[in-house]
């Protein structure tokens, strides 16, 4: 637990449920995909529960779910899952611009961090292609050029493997320390922070379960509250 005020040199963000509210776009995209392969639509809660995993696993989860249940009812073969993955991309892109939004204050927070000389990057379990398009569509490319977006297929491993976060630190020439922050709404984000030896910040406003199984150095309930941490000790308490 970091009890003194330590300003970060690098802040790495998750994407879905942390910077961008994409669930309103993902739900219709998934159900459009399921309709194309002759499956009934799923409830938003079931789709949300499937999020956070690499795209291959996410697609496998949402095409193996029975309506009204979060439990798989049949395991589709790999070839079928790969086809579903290819079909999902266009469904998501069609829905993205109409339904996804940045969380309130995200642009202001990012601008403030950059103005203070703090590096920013994205580490997500979304595929790199869909992550880049999401960032572009949401108008965040000025903060996150393509090279600073690491997706589930950017490397041979994905979150929570520490190599993902270490790759970003290598880009900026920084070493693991409390001055590197990993910010996300899932315990996967806190797991990768712990494994890489950096500070984990949980977002209580997202889709995930950040803080349910792994301790965070701080918890924020809105993007703007991240700025409060720049001047407050990281004592594990929630910033409201």
Token readout for 234 is 């990281």
Which positions are annotated as active-site residues? 14
Question: pTM of the full predicted structure?
Answer: 0.90
- Can you tell me the distance from the alpha carbon of 49 to that of 61, in angstroms, rounded to the nearest whole number? 10
Encode pLDDT of 190-222 as tens digits: 999 999 999 999 999 999 887 777 889 999 999
What pLDDT shows up at residue 105?
97
Give the torsion sign (CA, 134, 137, 143, 148).
positive
Report DSSP state, residue 146.
G
CA 172 to chain CA mean position, Å? 20
Tell me the pLDDT band of 1, cut-offs 50, 70 and 90.
very low
Encode pLDDT of 66-121 as tens digits: 765 444 445 556 778 888 989 999 999 999 999 999 999 999 999 999 999 999 99
Mean pLDDT of the 14-21 span: 97
What average pLDDT does the structure give for the chain? Answer: 90
What pLDDT shows up at residue 70?
47
Is the pLDDT at 29 greater than 90, yes or no? yes
């Amino acid at each position: 637990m970091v009890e003194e005020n330590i300003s970060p040199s690098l802040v790495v963000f998750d994407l879905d449920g942390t910077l961008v509210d994409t669930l309103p776009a993902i739900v219709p995209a998934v159900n459009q995909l399921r309709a194309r392969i002759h499956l009934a639509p799923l409830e938003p809660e079931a789709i949300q529960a499937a999020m956070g995993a690499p795209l291959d696993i996410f697609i496998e989860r949402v095409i193996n779910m029975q309506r009204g249940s979060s439990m798989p009812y049949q395991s589709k073969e790999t070839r079928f899952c790969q086809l579903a993955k290819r079909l999902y991309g266009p469904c998501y892109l069609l829905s993205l611009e109409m339904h996804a939004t940045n969380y309130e204050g995200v642009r202001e927070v990012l601008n403030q961090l950059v103005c203070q000389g703090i590096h920013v990057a994205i580490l997500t379990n979304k595929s790199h292609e869909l992550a880049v398009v999401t960032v572009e569509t949401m108008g965040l490319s000025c903060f996150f050029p393509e090279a600073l977006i690491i997706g589930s297929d950017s490397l041979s491993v994905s979150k929570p493997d520490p190599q993902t976060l270490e790759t970003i630190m290598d880009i900026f020439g920084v070493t693991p320390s409390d001055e590197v922050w990993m910010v996300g709404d899932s315990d996967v984000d806190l797991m990768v922070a712990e494994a890489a030896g950096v500070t984990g910040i949980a977002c209580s406003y997202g889709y995930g379960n950040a803080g349910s199984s792994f301790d965070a150095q701080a918890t924020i309930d809105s993007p703007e509250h991240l700025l409060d941490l720049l001047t407050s000790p990281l004592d594990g308490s929630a910033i409201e």
